[in-house]
Amino acid sequence: MLRASRAFLVLHGPRILAQKRRLDREVERMPDAELPWEGAIEGTDPLRLLVIGDSTAAGTGAATQDEALVGSLAQELHARTGRGILWRAVAENGADTGEFLERHLTDALARPADFVFVSLGANDAIHARSARAFARDLRTLLETLSDRHPHARILVSNLPIFTRFELLPEPLRGTLYRHSRNLERAAALVVARDPRWMITEQLPPPYGPEFFARDRFHPSASGYADWARWAIDDAWPRGLDELADPGRSS
């Protein structure tokens, strides 16, 4: 069933397209987080954090990036490592992995990074991109990042659990979930190629009542904090803990 996820999308295309168009008309368009998209938490041996991706990396659903994904990850890493954090986000609302490569890779590579968090794939699922195309673009992205930042750890986020999005009607909800799991499996095969790359392996805990912003699609400030915490929890014992010791990650 997972392998046939894109075929299912095509088969039910007219009905799903109609549902997506209705959602586009009815769902509130929330702005990205306000500028600036970079900041710092004071401390010794600053860790350079880069968050790249789509609307979640852009902080849609939160007022500022301090309250969004990149700020929440910075706070989580500071608490665990005791190090200062220099953070920034490079993102585009609505971008899939190929579009990010075309339009934002240069910016992502512009400054050194010690830890890169990748939040891409949701729009690849929504746009019904094939697992092969997604895996190709993800591999290009990761290889290019590691070529430029050879000592950086890179963590690829798992995709949204679309079955938990009550906003989405069926069959759109279930179809997106099946296809997103297929893309996740392709991403895991890419990530396994290099020990510097990781992917969130565990499904997140159930989304709480405050997880979603008012559009019921993007995370709220509380949702971003939850996401940052469980993403770091998942990756920490699998090697991310080396960030607490600058000597081990250099």
Asked whether residue 80 is assigned to any structural domain, the reply reads: yes
Tell me what pLDDT residue 4 has.
44
Asked whether residue 250 is assigned to any structural domain, the reply reads: no
More confident: 248 or 142: 142
Q: Could you give the strand order of the β-sheet that contains 115-119, starting from the edge strand earlier in sequence?
A: 38-41, 83-91, 44-53, 115-119, 153-156, 197-199
Q: Residue 183's domain spans which residues?
A: 5-27+37-243
Tell me what pLDDT residue 22 has.
64
pTM of the model: 0.91
Q: How many domains does the chain have?
A: 1
Give the DSSP letter of residue 165.
-
Asked whether residue 66 is assigned to any structural domain, the reply reads: yes
Pair type for strands 83-91 and 115-119: unpaired
Asked whether residue 85 is assigned to any structural domain, the reply reads: yes
Average pLDDT of the chain is 90
Asked whether residue 249 is assigned to any structural domain, the reply reads: no
Asked whether residue 97 is assigned to any structural domain, the reply reads: yes
Q: Could you read off the pLDDT of 61-84 as tens digits, one per residue?
A: 999 999 999 999 999 999 999 999
Distance CA 100, CA 106 (A): 10
Asked whether residue 32 is assigned to any structural domain, the reply reads: no
Asked whether residue 71 is assigned to any structural domain, the reply reads: yes
CATH number at residue 73: 3.40.50.1110
